[in-house]
C-alpha cells in the first residue's frame, strides 16, 4: 500500500513537473482569431518596433482603413518600421513547412516569428517574412 502511494505520488509529480508546450494547440490555428500576440488598436502607417516577432496588429484608424483590419509591422527598403495592411493571414504555421495554396499569405510561427509563404524551386514553403 505504501509503495503504491509513493508510485502514484511520483507519477503525479512527474506529470506536473514536465513543462507543457504552450504552442502545441497553436499548430492547428488557421485563422487570425487564434493567433497570440496580435496588438490591438494600432494606427495604419504609425511607427512600430519589431519587424521579426509578433508583428501583427489590428487597426483602429488610418488612411482608408476599416476598424479591426489586420496590419503588420514592416520596414520597406530599410526605412523606419511602420504598420501596413496585411495580406491574408493563415494563422500559426511552422517555419519551413509546406504552404501550397497559401502563396503570398502571411502567418506567425509558434514562437512569434513573422512568416510568409513563398514558392522557391517549385515548392511553396513558410519562410521568414522579415528578410
Cell numbers linked to 48: 512600430
Give mean pLDDT, residues 33-49: 93
How confident is the model at residue 12, as a pLDDT? 33
Cell numbers linked to 62: 488610418
Q: What angle do CA 60, 63, 69 make, to 5 degrees?
A: 40
The pair phi, psi for residue 36, each rounded to 5°, is -80, 155
Q: What is the pLDDT of residues 43-76, one digit of tens each?
A: 999 999 999 999 999 999 777 678 889 999 999 8
Judging by beta carbons within 10 Å of its beta carbon (0-12, 13-18, 19+), is residue 130 exposed, middle or buried?
middle
d(CA 19, CA 27): 17
d(CA 58, CA 60): 7
Cell numbers linked to 76: 520597406
Amino acid at each position: 500500500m505504501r509503495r503504491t502511494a509513493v508510485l502514484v505520488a511520483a507519477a503525479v509529480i512527474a506529470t506536473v513537473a514536465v513543462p507543457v508546450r504552450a504552442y502545441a494547440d497553436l499548430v492547428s490555428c488557421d485563422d487570425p482569431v487564434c493567433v497570440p500576440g496580435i496588438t490591438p488598436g494600432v494606427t495604419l502607417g504609425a511607427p512600430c518596433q519589431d519587424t521579426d516577432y509578433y508583428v501583427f496588429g489590428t487597426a483602429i484608424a488610418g488612411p482608408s482603413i476599416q476598424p479591426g483590419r489586420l496590419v503588420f509591422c514592416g520596414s520597406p527598403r530599410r526605412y523606419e518600421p511602420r504598420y501596413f495592411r496585411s495580406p491574408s493571414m493563415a494563422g500559426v504555421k511552422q517555419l519551413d513547412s509546406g504552404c501550397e495554396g497559401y502563396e503570398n499569405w502571411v502567418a506567425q510561427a509558434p514562437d512569434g516569428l513573422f512568416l510568409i509563404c513563398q514558392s522557391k524551386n517549385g515548392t511553396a514553403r513558410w519562410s521568414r517574412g522579415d528578410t
